[in-house]
Amino acid sequence: MLKALGARRRVLLAIPLLGIVCLILFPGCGRTPPPDLWSWSAQDSTKIVAQVVNWKQALRTVLAESLALTKRCSLIPDTTGRALHKNMKENRFKPRFFPGVFSRTITEYTMVDSATPTRDTTVTVKLSETFSGAVTINTESTNLFLQESIIGGLHYRFYTDTFVARETTLVIPYVGSCDRYLCFEPNDKVTRDTWILKCISGAARIASPDDAGAPLIYGLWINTNSGRRDTFMMRPDSTHYGAQRLYRLDSLLTYTTADSINVRLPKAYWDAGYVDPKDVFAFIHLPLSDSHSYRRPLHPFPDDTTSFAFSSPGLKQVYFEVMPRAALTEITPSFTSRIWGIPLTIRNP
């Protein structure tokens, strides 16, 4: 009995020793070796670049507008006007104006792409756009300069606290940047004969002059005349769409040419104190061509009735823009705004 127990103990002690020897002599023993990182080739690069070029024109930012294509900025809530007058009375040291219409022209445009391969034979391409130009603002009225005073050795310029009807033209430099991502997959992971665009960013994120200076957008509603509502968020969750996520082309927000689409700013965001609606201007941009868009003002409340429809099917982009009130009421060194360029799939009914 004791001899049998001793032999059994020796066998049990030998099992771990055999395992150690196995790991030393055969490092892969007991586990599946990881797949090799696929090797990026010049052919892959050429094929992906060709696909990116095909999609660049469809996804490039279109913000150029003319004064004839814009509705008047005076179509804003009365609360915004009252807040502006209140600021003028509290701070008499700034020249201010009430905007009539404004237009944006882009004179220099650059798009750069960089590709990052991953272990599972997919390639993510980052499209970075930079553009510069000017914003031209036609004013309806301005406050007037009164006098310059010296207070405590400092020079101060005083202005009236009311507006006087005066049309003038202001030209402010415009610079902006945009980032979006595209994800490509091969038709066959071994041969990689062709590369196919599978996913794109939920929204292109455009900032002027940069991310630090542009206001944030937290979310919006996209409604249709059929009663459907889609919630679009900056950081989406499992049930809502959003800017900071990649979406397969067949899962983009999809509407038909028969849909009348309405974009609204959820009142809940203002009630939560994210942004005071009196301190922002909001606009929706609708593409007219590869070089021009049509802009409509939006009220930052859910009762806005600005609607639009698409006349033809295909991949479309609409641009939702929020800017601080100062961008269109004060003379600033550069134009400030934040835009989401949202890709939509439009189909025939």
Q: pTM of the full predicted structure? A: 0.80
Read off the pLDDT of residues 258-272 as tens digits, 9 standing for 90 and up. Answer: 999 988 877 666 666
Q: Are the CB atoms for 157 and 82 separated by under 8 Å? A: no
Given a cut of 50, is residue 23 above it in pLDDT?
no
| Residue 273 domain flag | yes
What does the pLDDT average to over 216-233?
89
Inform me whether the pLDDT recorded for 34 exceeds 60: no
- 182 found inside a domain: yes
Instruction: For residues 320 and 308, give the distance between their C-alpha atoms in angstroms, rounded to a whole number.
Output: 13
> Greater confidence, 271 or 110?
110
Structural domains in the chain (count): 1
Can you say whether residue 178 is alpha, beta or left, with left for phi > 0 and alpha for psi between -120 and 50 degrees? beta
Q: What average pLDDT score do residues 301-328 get?
A: 82
**Percent over 70 (pLDDT), the chain:** 79
Query: Could you tell me if residue 162 is inside a domain?
Result: yes
The dihedral sign for the CA sequence 66, 69, 74, 78: negative
Confidence of residue 26 (pLDDT cuts 50, 70, 90): very low
- Which residue segment(s) compose the domain that 50 sits in? 39-347
Has residue 9 been placed in a domain?
Answer: no
Q: List beta partners, residue 109.
A: 131
Is 181 within the bounds of a domain? Answer: yes
20 CB-near residues (< 8 Å, 6+ apart): none
pLDDT digits (tens, 9 = 90+) for 150-206: 888 888 888 999 989 999 999 999 999 999 999 999 998 888 999 999 999 999 999
Residue 291: what pLDDT? 65
Q: Is 193 helix (H, G, I), strand (E, B) or coil?
A: coil
Checking if the pLDDT of 296 tops 80, the result is no
Residue 305 lies in a domain: yes
Output the pLDDT for position 116.
86
pLDDT category at 331 given cuts 50, 70, 90 is confident
Establish if 285 belongs to a structural domain. Answer: yes
